[in-house]
Chain A
Amino acid sequence: MHTEVPQIDISRVLDAPRGLVYRAFTDPDHFVAWWGPIGHSLPRTEIEFDVRPGGHQRWTEVSAANPGVRVHVHVDLTDVTDGELLDGLMHVTGRLPDGVEAFETRVRVEFHDEAPGRTRLTIHQWLPQQVTGNAEQGWLEALTTLDAALIDTRTPPSRVEVQ
């Protein structure tokens, strides 16, 4: 479904062993401690994880500033390797802060050993397709190109218009 280049490509080394980092993503008690966005909380009773291929991760994000804003996130896990990989399609619904309609986004997280006792996390995200309406498939590539162009060549302080 999403075979194109992901728009988000993040790599980060964490000072913790791989098993622990994997638990932070897959154990609800760990997950609530760090998952964003900032200012949101995740009610512990509304988390349901069933981590395996074909399983799911579900939770609700409640805005502290506006408790009426409740975002429901359901991840259908397509590919899971214990301690190594989580890949799935994230469905975001509910009352979103900026009124944006529901969307889907594929997210892939890989966990790699990094000496000594550290973990390299790589995150790939394919941004929601529906935001572009009926745009051609190529828009994904365009985003990647645009992203690289703007970041590498001509974005001094953000929001300064480059002429």
Chain B
Amino acid sequence: MAGTDHLSAVFSALADPTRRAILADLAERDATVTELTASLPISMPAVSRHLKVLERATLISRTRSGKWRASHLEAAPLREAADWIERYREFWDSSLTRLDAHLAAVQAAERPRNPTDRDPRPPTETASDHKEP
């Protein structure tokens, strides 16, 4: 899918710590190459090269106002990447909620054999599996 290819470009761009530092700077405010270079231990041409990578991945856009060229963080592709991760988290969250319900149902079914409802110990049949504190 095209979406996956685009994600590849995004993740590939994010794979470099300098580029992540640049994005973190741009999350605060738009900035020129000079401003970005001030907070990084690398040269201005190197920063420019990183900006090109970020621009190709559509993580930033660059606007010219007067003689200054400012970089601007584009949040949508970041959001897309985060959503991609989020799908997996949601999978676990909803599955674990059902697991919770399943465990409650199983234990409720076992409860008649174990009338001391508040007793924290597991039913005798599984007690040997556990090292109770």
B residues in contact with A163, CB < 8 Å: 75
Q: How many A-B residue pairs have CB under 8 A?
A: 150
B85: contacting residue among A116, A123, A127, A161, CB under 8 A: A127
B residues in contact with A67, CB < 8 Å: none
A residues in contact with B79, CB < 8 Å: 150, 155, 158-159, 161-162
Given A17-B122, A37-B91, are A135 and B106 neighbors across the interface (CB < 8 Å)? no
Given A35-B95, A98-B1, A136-B16, are A142 and B107 neighbors across the interface (CB < 8 Å)? no
In this complex, the member of A113, A127, A132, A154 whose beta carbon has the largest number of chain B beta carbons within 10 angstroms is A132
User: What is the 8 Å Cβ interface bit string for chain A, positions 34-55, against chain B (1 contact, 0 not)?
Assistant: 1111100000000000000000
User: What is the 8 Å Cβ interface bit string for chain B, positions 6-47, against chain A (1 contact, 0 not)?
Assistant: 011001101111001000100100000000000000000000
- Complex Cα–Cα for A78 and B126 (A): 26
CB atoms of B91 and A36 under 8 A apart: yes
What's the minimum C-beta distance from A59 to chain B, rounded to whole angstroms? 13
- Complex Cα–Cα for A20 and B120 (A): 14
Please give me the residue from chain B that is nearest to A19 by CB atom.
B129
- Complex Cα–Cα for A60 and B91 (A): 16
A161: contacting residue among B11, B75, B82, B93, CB under 8 A: B75
Q: A15-B104, A121-B96, A135-B11 are in contact. List 11 more A-B contacts (CB 8 A).
A: A10-B92, A19-B126, A19-B130, A113-B130, A125-B88, A127-B88, A139-B12, A143-B85, A146-B85, A149-B24, A158-B86
Q: Which 3 A-B pairs have the closest CB atoms?
A: A116-B120, A142-B14, A135-B12
